[in-house]
Structure 1
């Protein structure tokens, strides 16, 4: 219906116009027009489409654009390789990472867009830009963004606001009387002028409602214009035009933030994934349902009910709480699947946590109390270990008031520890394992307590005291053969060390008398690691941390990104794709921060090497040479990873070999060494490998299980 506008925009792009803006009122067809443009241009250009969601910010959009630009020019994998050092070596840091996030994203985008070749130019399509911020703020950002892009990158935006500074502007109006007639005559050639006049008068040529009216009319060749409000009539008549199954389906799912075959089959009784997919395919041909593309995590097609129709349908729900409860359960189970076995559960589960939160907040009309949240989790029927794993991934961003995630986790740890204590061991091996695990969870319970704002029956101090008593009273070594009992003493010793260090840390400054710290050093002394050596290493680490604030930068970046995650989620208008993309970009940004810090230390007067040798000098003061040998072996491993051919890596390897020989002499005086230095290989031993070797060095018992 808008061929003139379409061809004029296509011609503008062909002429090299860099910024184009499409404006118009809600439902006038801006998104459809943008889709038509992308379909026409994608054959000749690289195209990327972005949708601005409620709560997005200019910073969010600049980050999304950066991600899409990286993907478009095939540099994302190269970036990750560079950041992790896989491709060999690092480049010095060229600019800080502590500047304003948006400025940082735009600076990277500017650099990246300069590499786009003219023979295959890149076009960004950005829909609903009016949702970014206040109109003036959004216009300022669009000007800033336009000035950032290289000459072979185009920006085509659409939204309800005007933007006169764009190089080319296309404003979409509602259909004229003639366009309304053409629209109806395409489907109904015999429609008479009186009917066309009536439709035009009632609907003002509004494209969205014209589409609904045409679909609701079915095969009729004429329209009977109702006397009541036409739009309400259309919404009801549209449902009448559906099959009974489609109407039931759409009524019961209209309150969902997104629709795909998985979640629809999860929240609807007796609807399989196949049935859900077929129904969604059928509904996608009608104006009420919009397709949003494919999910980046599952590959399924994603849909949503059109904004102008969703409220009407949602009001028809008999039991909206049931829908939201089922949706929360679905996303909670997906979150568990993500965090199960994940090394970074907070990142892996965050997207599904957000989606689940929206439905949970609908149930309680705001943030649920901790006990209400736990009752919802009860319905998931997790096994105790599954539930705790789920909570570790979910508690940090569960929608509890006043940041009660620590309270939530403390209660869950209490329940899990009680369950552990209730188990009946089948043999001595299980008894040892249950006691070991029980002590670890007592330790976690105590550690979480200070961050909560509730009174527990047992405080963290009381838990530490009782845990120390348990370790002292339980005969850990009795489960081992007599000739292994000296070595097995490492189990209670390491538990005691952890408890004393945690207790000292959690005590208030005025409550610390040094007793726990002294006890911790007494444990270390048994293994030849004295207080002077430990404090020397700690002091060196603190000095290095003060020089390089990468840790603070990473923390600030994560907090900023989490705020953006939360800000951009709106239950009426979102998909998980944007969240997944930003989650992936956050991971890349974190790698870049680590890369920058390490590159700086390597490039700035051998600062890292100096730090390594200072720590080595401190550890050399320990009675047991093993620790300094392991330290230099670990350092050599790091240098080989990032700078494999450097003289420093060879220097550190030689130091590790030297102290391994010193350790051999030390071992000659030991009756039963825990770790035999003969097994020590400098070229492949790092701390995780070392732990594994110790665990496997004592036959079937595996002391560190």
Structure 2
């Protein structure tokens, strides 16, 4: 129960009880809006379902709308949330925007409107949103609040707080600094014997500002009286507050004030001569003081995570001798942690998200905004990674690197150029190692040519130049001997597949008006060597295109996965989501994605008539190929997928029989060959080797078994 502002507090409670749908609380910084909101939530949570959201720098009306949708799903229960699951969010590159747009916001709000209709009047839902002024310019924010208010169902209420006014709310409260009476009540609560002259002096100097009153009270310690300084009181309080700390605490807080977050790990990493133990003890001590706010506790380690209060941070930041050094050290800390996470990861982009986002915040402080691509690369130079380590780091970080205008493709292209040049600069010890270096170089040539098509930069070597030189390298080097000296015919498929990849990529990347069909014809010529003609391939492509136009299971699966990604983005900005909690969420998200993929595959297979029709249509197209192997492999692949997700279905046995039939036809075909590359006797319909990721999806905790 608040000791002051009781009139405003009870008036809001009464408004909510009367069914007022929107309430807005305004006031200047440090006036106590957040505390007022917290006290309201604590009181109202006894009677209503409540959800609290905090707007952070970089959030937009769109990100808030998706956060609200996430919280609404959680509040209304599993059944309603599943019905309303797909959000249509398109996760992009920038962590600030999460790739969302105004259209995404409209979809979120439509779904929020639908979902909020299911809220029961006997257990109404109240959203509390703090710091709404951080969303956008005032008028844009007000327009969004109007849009949001019209979206909510009658049993969903919204209470917002921020520095801007919003007169269109059904009920508004403007918090001023404390009156003289409120100032007296505040001081007398702590110091019962405080005299009127002191109260008058405090009120005159601080204008009843709640935040500075709190600092003054802490700086005064246990004294029942205190002198009012003649100099600027706010500056005095800030200095006196530091003087109330131990020398070690003051040094610690001055040096760490510019960090995005404070915990024992990062403080010990970026501050000289501070151990983890010292950092933990100092943070525990500072947590009792108003200058430091606790953000939450890690669910994994139990560590507490803090930040310096916004109003105090500016004062401390001005005292830093070298803020750039602090931010650079913090970036290096997060970058190294990111590398540890993405090393060997099957999903480096996902694993690197949390540390990348935190590292970005410090880079943007160094450059007063997004660094240019070359500036970012110079920062990575300081990490002194080995070439292979650096490239692995970039694959995990580049999609989230804070470069302007979405230049992550340019960043990767430059990194791939450097890495390829490094490989070709190595001195091989023998012919075998030379072939190894060349083969790896060809693969990276293909990658860097493909990335170039997504950039606006004019490179010295264009994609076309790289494709041409790559084809020449495939001709010049004996990759057949490198892969298999004893089985030359079988190993011939390696350079042929390299040629195929180059021709297909070149055909795709060359501008439409510049295509003459040369690369496409060359790609088909490669396939003809193995008995797969153009008619068969184009038949399969046409079938796939037709299925994509009418069958949305793939899109639905993508939306479900994106919905989980959206929840992850939304959770990042909550006060109780510490870095360690977010890392745990990454692991949970990966598991959820596997289960969702499992469900998507199972759902697709359950609609067996159309999917089976598609499989047989593709099989009919592949039957037109000279080589029966491709039809056998296609049916074996389809049968294996069905066996993983629907082992007892009749269609599974049907596809296995088709695979076996074409395997027998292939045996007859082999009799006419002098030296077949692949003998069908080695072909096992019942034992196809799938990538580990596919097996992980099928083996996820979801139920992949359909009833017969």
TM-score normalized by the length of structure 2 = 0.81
Paired residue for 1:212? 215
Q: Which is bigger in relative contact order (C-alpha 8 A, separation at least 6)?
A: 1
Question: How far apart, in 2, do the equivalents of 1:176 and 1:79 lie?
Answer: 50
8 A Cα contact 2:490 2:678, kept in partner: no
Question: How far apart, in 1, do the equivalents of 2:485 and 2:570 lie?
Answer: 61
The answer to whether structure 1 residue 2 and structure 2 residue 4 are counterparts is yes
Shift of 1:670: 4.5
SS in 2 for 1:436: helix
8 A Cα contact 2:299 2:581, kept in partner: no
Paired residue for 2:620? 617
Q: Deviations over 1:175-225 (max 9, x none)?
A: 221221222223323322111101111111111110111122233332222
Question: How far apart, in 1, do the equivalents of 2:324 and 2:126 lie?
Answer: 43
SS in 2 for 1:223: coil
8 A Cα contact 1:548 1:597, kept in partner: no
The answer to whether structure 1 residue 468 and structure 2 residue 471 are counterparts is yes
SS in 1 for 2:487: helix
8 A Cα contact 1:553 1:593, kept in partner: no
- 1:408-447 equivalences in 2 (<5 Å): 408-423=411-426, 432-447=435-450
8 A Cα contact 2:605 2:646, kept in partner: no
SS in 2 for 1:242: coil
Q: Deviations over 1:650-684 (max 9, x none)?
A: 54444333323323333444455554544545456
- 1:624-639 equivalences in 2 (<5 Å): 624-638=627-641
Farther-moved stretch of structure 1 (582-591 vs 490-499): 582-591
SS in 1 for 2:160: strand
Paired residue for 1:63? 66
Question: How far apart, in 2, do the equivalents of 1:628 and 1:690 lie?
Answer: 24
Pick closer, same or farther for the CA change 1:656–1:521 going to 2, 3 Å.
same
8 A Cα contact 2:68 2:112, kept in partner: yes
Paired residue for 2:698? none
- 1:7-406 equivalences in 2 (<5 Å): 9=12, 19-42=22-45, 46-72=49-75, 75=78, 79=82, 100-114=103-117, 122-135=125-138, 137-146=140-149, 148-149=151-152, 153-163=156-166, 169-294=172-297, 300-401=303-404, 403-406=406-409
SS in 2 for 1:100: helix
8 A Cα contact 1:80 1:588, kept in partner: no
Pick closer, same or farther for the CA change 1:235–1:67 going to 2, 3 Å.
same
8 A Cα contact 1:56 1:567, kept in partner: no
8 A Cα contact 1:24 1:173, kept in partner: yes
Pick closer, same or farther for the CA change 1:143–1:482 going to 2, 3 Å.
closer
Farther-moved stretch of structure 1 (341-350 vs 290-299): 290-299
Shift of 1:79: 4.7
Farther-moved stretch of structure 1 (680-689 vs 172-181): 680-689
Question: How far apart, in 2, do the equivalents of 1:67 and 1:300 lie?
Answer: 26
Pick closer, same or farther for the CA change 1:78–1:107 going to 2, 3 Å.
closer
Question: How far apart, in 1, do the equivalents of 2:555 and 2:632 lie?
Answer: 31
Shift of 1:143: 4.9
Paired residue for 1:663? 666
RMSD: 4.6
Shift of 1:298: 7.0
Pick closer, same or farther for the CA change 1:280–1:73 going to 2, 3 Å.
farther
Unaligned runs of 5+ in 1: 84-96, 693-705
Shift of 1:63: 0.7
Question: How far apart, in 2, do the equivalents of 1:107 and 1:284 lie?
Answer: 42
Pick closer, same or farther for the CA change 1:507–1:148 going to 2, 3 Å.
closer
SS in 2 for 1:201: helix
Paired residue for 1:92? none
SS in 1 for 2:295: strand
Unaligned runs of 5+ in 2: 87-99, 696-708
Paired residue for 1:521? 524
